[in-house]
């Protein structure tokens, strides 16, 4: 990478303070940047590195105090988003997988599009349909009737079971399992659990990214559906017949129980958990380690277990943290009440004797 500072500024619509002809060789974090690097400052926690960074240039918000004259500045409304745009444009990784490895198995009934690349030991089963420009890395298995849309990228050791459908431009990271049986059992009169056949599938729409070791279970009937633009972090469990709405983001170690419906543009933060058969409105934020035990009908932030509106949950948390103080104060009040009762009893006794 070797670009003029003006090229970077033009790409992100930024205003330069300093020489527009400076040469940028790399993009780097502010605390690690060296001479020739372009960095960014978007969060107050990183302000402490500004005085010592060795970067040649830095992205800042308008009005930033440009007290150093040995560094160039690019003003943008959102340095974090602007830096991400630069990363996408200049640093998107190339994945060199090409062609079809000799160890890959392709069933004669499978349909493979143009420019498909298959790594070692990939299995494409009967009646699978693979779109154009798809890359599937080593040891991935597609069972019968799986469909993969154009321009998708599937990393190693992924399992996609029968009849599941993956849309265009999907990115699926290593170890993910799509279409395993949903957790469906019923106990008989002796208490033995019997398996309920899971005969549905999983439908993943366009522009979805799934992290490493995600599990999305097939529906008992119908489909488990991940709508367009959803982004799912590592180690997330999505149970059977769940629906995740468009452009929702789900962080690591979240678990979603069966038949729950999640709206559009939601955020489920890390280690959140949702019970089954509930509905989450559009625009809901479930904060980290929260447990959602009933439907949420209004957009907004929710926290706690069971989850509550964020402000109410914080008030309750403040009271919980002060319980020991409250207990001490109650004990003092009890002591004072007892003294008053004793004094009142003495007054009554004295009055009766009079």
Question: Looking at the annotation, which residues are catalytic?
Answer: 240
Pairing of strands 141-142, 159-160: parallel
Please say whether the beta carbons of 177 and 162 come within 8 A: no
| Whether the Cβ atoms of residue 159 and residue 194 lie closer than 8 Å to each other | no
Sheet holding 284-286, edge to edge: 117-118, 135-136, 153-154, 171-172, 209-210, 231-232, 249-250, 267-268, 284-286, 300-303, 308-309
Q: What is the signed CA dihedral for 22, 24, 28, 30, rounded to 10 degrees?
A: 0
Question: How many alpha carbons fall within 13 Å on the CB side of residue 175?
Answer: 9
CA distances, 96 to each of 93, 117, 119, 121, 135 (Å): 9, 10, 11, 17, 10
Within a 10 A sphere around the Cβ of 133, how many other Cβ atoms? 16
**Tokens, residue 354:** 């009079």
Cis amide leading into 306 (omega within 30)? yes
d(CA 318, CA 192): 46
Give just the sign of the alpha carbon dihedral 90, 92, 93, 99: negative
């Amino acid at each position: 990478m070797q670009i003029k500072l003006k090229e970077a500024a033009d790409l992100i619509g930024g205003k330069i303070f300093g020489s527009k002809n400076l040469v940028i060789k790399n993009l780097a974090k502010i605390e690690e940047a060296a001479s020739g690097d372009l960095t960014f400052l978007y969060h107050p926690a990183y302000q402490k590195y500004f005085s010592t960074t060795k970067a040649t240039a830095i992205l800042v918000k308008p009005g930033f105090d440009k007290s150093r004259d040995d560094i160039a500045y690019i003003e943008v409304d959102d340095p974090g988003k602007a830096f991400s745009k630069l990363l996408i444009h200049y640093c998107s990784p190339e994945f060199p997988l090409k062609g079809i490895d000799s160890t890959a198995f392709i069933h004669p009934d499978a349909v493979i599009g143009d420019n498909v690349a298959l790594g070692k030991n990939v299995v494409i089963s009967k009646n699978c349909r693979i779109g154009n420009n798809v890359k599937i890395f080593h040891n991935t298995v597609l069972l019968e009737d799986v469909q993969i849309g154009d321009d998708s990228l599937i990393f190693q050791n992924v399992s996609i079971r029968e009849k599941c459908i993956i849309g265009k431009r999907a990115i699926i990271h290593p170890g993910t399992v799509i279409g395993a049986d949903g957790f469906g059992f019923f106990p008989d009169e002796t208490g033995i659990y019997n398996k309920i056949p899971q005969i549905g599938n999983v439908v993943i729409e366009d522009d979805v990214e799934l992290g490493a070791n995600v599990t999305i279970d097939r529906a008992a009937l119908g489909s488990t559906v991940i709508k367009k633009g959803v982004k799912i972090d590592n180690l997330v469990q999505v149970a059977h017949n769940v629906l995740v709405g468009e452009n929702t983001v789900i962080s690591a170690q979240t678990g979603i129980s069966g038949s729950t419906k999640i709206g559009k543009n939601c955020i489920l933060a890390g280690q959140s958990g949702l019970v089954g058969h509930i509905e989450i409105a559009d625009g809901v934020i479930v904060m980290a380690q929260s447990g959602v035990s009933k439907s949420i009908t209004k957009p907004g932030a929710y926290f706690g277990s069971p989850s509550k509106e964020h402000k109410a949950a914080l008030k309750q948390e403040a009271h919980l943290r002060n319980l020991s103080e409250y207990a001490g104060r109650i004990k003092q009040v009890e002591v004072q009440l007892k003294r008053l009762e004793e004094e009142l009893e003495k007054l009554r006794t004295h009055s009766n004797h009079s």
